[in-house]
Structure 1
């Protein structure tokens, strides 16, 4: 799985623009949370490039970059959770899940 790092707030505007051409996934990950680590590992183990070929995945270390996480909640009108995955299409969040509801099969069903 090839993560794109989300490290700058201005990337959110780029993500919105990208989402008009292809769906974008944002994973907000807490590096000190065991649930977050498990959700990340499960997602990475289940990931199949051929099923998610059109999906561009972004990874946010929300402990280091909490202001960006807060901006995501505001920009995409979702309640902050950790871990959390969002699918962005046409500039809007069309799907979000958190904790053990983060599942590859559910993500690809949104594409």
Structure 2
């Protein structure tokens, strides 16, 4: 009865957190490189606001669900520290800014994008 009320004193197993192969997106010049690379390999851009609880929650869910066997390149954009890059993403890729946001690029164009909880509904396997 006390274990139910106060919890067990036995240590709980912690899940090992995945470490994703994030590539930092920090310069506007990288946006052209990403477009070029998308012609031969799927490119993912995750725009994240480090001050936003929703963005943090969605990112955590994304990391938990992400398949490490994916062949896509995975870019991380801290949009608060790299506001100019974030602004250019919207202009260059013709996608309205939102946060958090995931963009999928193939063959030189954005083939899918989502924001907030819809990010985790995208079937990334379709684009690999």
TM-score by length of 2: 0.81
Change (3 A) 1:37 1:108: same
Q: Which has the higher contact order (CA 8 A, sep 6+)?
A: 1
Q: Deviations over 1:53-98 (max 9, x none)?
A: x211000000011111111111111110000000011111000000
Higher alpha-carbon Rg? 2
SS of 2:104 mapped into structure 1:
strand
1:47 touches 1:104 (CA, 8 Å); kept in 2?
A: no
Change (3 A) 1:44 1:56: same
Q: Which runs of 4+ in 1 moved over 2 A?
A: 104-111
Would you say 1:67 and 2:89 are equivalent positions?
no
For 1:93, the equivalent position in structure 2 comes to 110
For 2:8, the equivalent position in structure 1 comes to none
2:42 touches 2:127 (CA, 8 Å); kept in 1?
A: no
For 1:102, the equivalent position in structure 2 comes to 119
Displacement of 1:106 in angstroms is: 2.2
1:31 touches 1:61 (CA, 8 Å); kept in 2?
A: yes
1:43 touches 1:104 (CA, 8 Å); kept in 2?
A: no
For 2:72, the equivalent position in structure 1 comes to 55
Would you say 1:32 and 2:47 are equivalent positions?
no
Displacement of 1:107 in angstroms is: 2.6
Unaligned runs of 5+ in 2: 1-19
CA RMSD in angstroms, aligned pairs only: 1.2
Distance 1:90 1:15 in 2: 10
